[in-house]
Amino acid sequence: MKRVRDVLRNHAREWKEIILPSPLPNPPEYVPPRRTSLKGSMAHIREGFVMYLDTWKTKPEEKEKEEAMMREFVEESNRVMEEAKGVSQKGRDMASTLLKNQYAMRIKAYQIGIKEFIAGYKEGVKEGQNT
Q: Is residue 118 part of a domain?
A: yes
Q: Is residue 43 part of a domain?
A: no
Q: Is residue 108 part of a domain?
A: yes
What is the span of the domain harbouring residue 124? 59-131
Mean pLDDT by 10 residues, the chain (131 residues): 77 74 87 88 93 82 84 84 74 74 86 91 86 68
> pTM for the full model?
0.34
Half-sphere exposure of 1 (CA within 13 A, CB side): 0
Q: Is residue 73 part of a domain?
A: yes
Give percent helix, percent strand, percent coil of the chain, each to the nearest 5. Answer: 80, 0, 20
Distance, CA of 82 to CA of 101 (rounded, Å): 13
Q: Is residue 107 part of a domain?
A: yes
The per-residue pLDDT for 29 is: 92
Q: Residue 20's closest CA among 12, 9, 28?
A: 12
Q: Is residue 5 part of a domain?
A: no
User: For the chain, what is the domain count?
Assistant: 1
Q: Is residue 48 part of a domain?
A: no
Q: Is residue 54 part of a domain?
A: no
The per-residue pLDDT for 39 is: 92
